[in-house]
């Protein structure tokens, strides 16, 4: 429920500190997709494999292959589930008919989402990466302005592939080399339906593999070397020390 601004933009005292502004979350989650990809029941790939061609208000052609680039990026909105519920696919017509967003709000968040995705893809390409899809959440502040209300373009909200391995993987029909939380999603999806079945215990080696993937992602996306906090104070201790002059 906050509009997040990183400290390195505003000069705040620690990399782990953000300044939040309270917003009211809009009840529609915006997912922009550039490729026929995904593992969950709401992904375009899962639905395409099931024979659906009319998806989220878009019609996709027959004969597409797993992880193929779409004719153009599309928005695949879902309901924003609160209190542990599951997101459900929506079309723009349904969003407006249900009053989830006004026409002006839908136009605004769509324009923001496409612009952010284009910029994210450009930045990813500069790092040798492909931003295949990503999620955006928006909210309104006290003045009714629409603001980004969550982190963006991280492995938690995005699917990144390594550009130099994409072509070979696409030709062989295998999953492109990536670093995102599909490491765990793919492991779970191979064993159950995560939307209806109990999630099996995640093995320690999968957890360790995921941590390694996130370190790789940090270094690839930012161009910086990852330094853990093992040799120094914990992030919480460091933040307290950095903030103490502000309150003395």
Q: What's the CATH superfamily of 2-179?
A: ATP-grasp fold, B domain (3.30.470.20)
Residue with tokens 């005292």: 13
Residue with tokens 């993937």: 213
Quick one: DSSP state of residue 245?
G
Quick one: DSSP state of residue 169?
H
Phi, psi dihedral angles at 30 (to 5 degrees): -105, 115
Question: Which has more confidence, 242 or 64?
Answer: 64
Tokens of 27: 């009840």
Tokens of 196: 């209806």
Tokens of 54: 């009319």
Burial of 21 (0-12, 13-18, 19+ CB in 10 A): middle
- Domain spans of the chain, in order of start: 2-179
Tokens of 89: 């696919």
Q: What is the pLDDT of residues 119-148, one digit of tens each?
A: 999 999 999 999 999 999 999 999 999 999
Q: What is the pLDDT of residues 186-235, one digit of tens each?
A: 888 889 988 789 999 999 999 888 888 888 888 988 888 987 766 677 88
Q: What is the pLDDT of residues 93-105, one digit of tens each?
A: 999 999 999 999 9
Predicted model pTM: 0.80
């Amino acid at each position: 429920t906050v509009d997040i601004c990183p400290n390195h933009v505003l000069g705040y005292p620690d990399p782990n500190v953000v300044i939040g502004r309270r917003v009211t979350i809009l009840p529609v989650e915006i997912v922009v997709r550039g490729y026929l990809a995904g593992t969950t029941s709401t992904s375009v790939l899962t639905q395409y494999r099931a024979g659906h061609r009319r998806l989220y208000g878009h019609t996709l052609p027959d004969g597409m292959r797993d992880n193929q680039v779409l004719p153009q990026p599309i928005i695949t909105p879902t309901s924003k589930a609160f209190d542990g519920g599951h997101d459900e696919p929506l079309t723009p017509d349904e969003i407006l008919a249900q009053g989830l967003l006004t026409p002006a709000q839908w136009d605004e968040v769509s324009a923001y989402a496409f612009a952010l995705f284009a910029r994210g893809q450009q930045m990813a390409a500069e790092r040798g990466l492909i931003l295949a899809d990503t999620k955006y959440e928006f909210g309104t502040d006290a003045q009714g302005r629409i603001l980004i209300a969550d982190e963006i373009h991280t492995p938690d909200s995005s699917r990144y592939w390594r550009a130099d391995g994409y072509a070979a993987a696409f030709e062989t029909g295998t999953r492109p080399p990536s670093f995102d939380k599909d490491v765990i999603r793919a492991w779970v999806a191979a064993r159950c339906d995560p939307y209806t079945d109990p999630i099996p215990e995640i093995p320690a080696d999968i957890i360790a593999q995921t941590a390694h993937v996130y370190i790789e992602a940090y270094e690839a996306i930012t161009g910086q070397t990852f330094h853990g906090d093992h040799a120094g104070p914990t992030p919480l201790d460091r933040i307290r020390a950095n903030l103490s002059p502000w309150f003395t």
